[in-house]
């Protein structure tokens, strides 16, 4: 049995009605390994969210298959999926009147019995998950009173409490300040390596991911996915091909983007 997340001949996109489809990314054939951080990157509108949502089972693929540790995800029931995978989305959630700790506790529900009561072990996992995201001081606060960035950390803790084999995150640093983004990226990498989880995140943090990710899935504007280590993709010149524009150029030596002098004579 192959460990990890395997996408085979996968095409993702939208069914538009009247039998018409819009293909966003075609013929994907890749594996995200356990214990590694895989970052899904690409310019706006290239299909990062569409692919992530398809992997998560929130929308159907147009063709192909998705398996986790050799098990077809499409054949799993919703409750079985919830024991294997968790997803952190950027959408703001309406938290109701829950404390941060109570929300993290909801992450244990796929593993509890019919009564939904948390055991001593469940409570321990909740506390460990809160500690892992450095949110102990937030645990007793009402979710509604947290900032977007603080709430994002709690949502990550809830995903961890689920103890998934597969952790999916859509733009996990969307609400975070610069130090928060670096810390979040480091945290996500540690989760992958220390807990031997398959982690796939979609992100615009290209420079950060060049340093931190084990693997990049780079989407281009033609509906293709390029797979490789950061070094491999830089060497193949694909990052420059995909991201370079009139205003921006990728520098393969430093692994950073720089502004290009504009026609009016302005130079950075």
Ligand X SMILES: Nc1ncnc2c1ncn2[C@@H]1O[C@H](COP(=O)(O)OP(=O)(O)OP(=O)(O)O)[C@@H](O)[C@H]1O
Residues that bind ligand X (CB under 6 A): 14, 22, 24, 42, 44-50
Which residue, 47 or 230, is less far from ligand X as judged by CB? 47
Q: Which is nearer to ligand X, 48 or 189 (CB)?
A: 48
Contacts of 37 (CB under 8 A, 6+ apart): 188, 189, 192, 193, 199, 201, 212, 213, 214, 215
Largest CA distance in the chain: 69
CB of 40 to ligand X, least distance (A): 8
CB of 119 to ligand X, least distance (A): 38
The residue count for the chain: 268
Q: Min. distance of Cβ 219 from ligand X in angstroms?
A: 6
**Which residues are CB-neighbours of 201 under 8 A, at least 6 positions away?**
37, 38, 39, 40, 168, 169, 170, 171, 172, 188
- Nearest distance in Å: CB 236, ligand X: 21
Q: Which residues have CB under 8 Å from 170's CB, separation 6+?
A: 48, 49, 52, 53, 87, 88, 89, 90, 201, 202
| Burial bucket for residue 192 (CB in 10 Å: 0-12, 13-18, 19+) | buried
Of 143 and 199, CB closest to ligand X? 199
Distance CA 198, CA 166 (A): 5
Q: Which is nearer to ligand X, 133 or 219 (CB)?
A: 219
Q: Among residues 42 and 107, whose Cβ is nearest to ligand X?
A: 42
Using a 10 angstrom Cβ sphere, with 0-12 exposed, 13-18 middle and 19 or more buried, the burial of residue 227 is middle
Query: In terms of CB distance, is 22 or 75 closer to ligand X?
Result: 22
């Amino acid at each position: 049995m192959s460990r990890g997340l395997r996408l085979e001949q996968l095409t993702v996109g939208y069914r538009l009605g009247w039998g018409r489809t819009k293909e966003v990314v075609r013929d994907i054939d890749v594996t995200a390994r356990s214990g590694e951080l895989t970052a899904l990157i690409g310019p706006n509108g290239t299909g990062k969210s569409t692919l992530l949502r398809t992997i998560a089972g929130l929308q159907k693929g147009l063709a192909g298959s998705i398996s986790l540790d050799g098990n077809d995800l499409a054949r799993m029931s919703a409750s079985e999926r919830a024991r294997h995978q968790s997803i952190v989305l950027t959408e703001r959630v309406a938290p109701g009147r829950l404390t941060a700790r109570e929300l993290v506790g909801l992450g244990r529900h796929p593993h509890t019995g019919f009564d939904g009561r948390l055991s001593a072990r469940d409570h321990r996992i909740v506390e460990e998950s809160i500690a892992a995201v450095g949110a102990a001081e937030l645990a007793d606060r009402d979710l509604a009173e947290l900032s977007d960035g603080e709430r994002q950390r709690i949502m990550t803790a809830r995903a961890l409490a689920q103890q998934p084999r597969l952790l999916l995150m859509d733009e996990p640093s969307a609400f975070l300040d610069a130090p928060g983004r670096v810390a979040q990226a480091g945290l996500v990498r540690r989760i992958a390596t220390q807990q031997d989880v398959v982690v796939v995140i979609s992100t615009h943090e290209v420079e950060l991911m060049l340093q931190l990710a084990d693997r990049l899935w780079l989407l281009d504007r033609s509906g293709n996915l390029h797979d490789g280590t950061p070094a491999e993709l830089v060497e193949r010149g694909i990052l420059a091909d995909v991201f370079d524009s009139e205003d921006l150029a990728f520098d393969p030596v430093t692994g950073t983007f720089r502004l290009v002098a504009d026609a009016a004579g302005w130079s950075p």
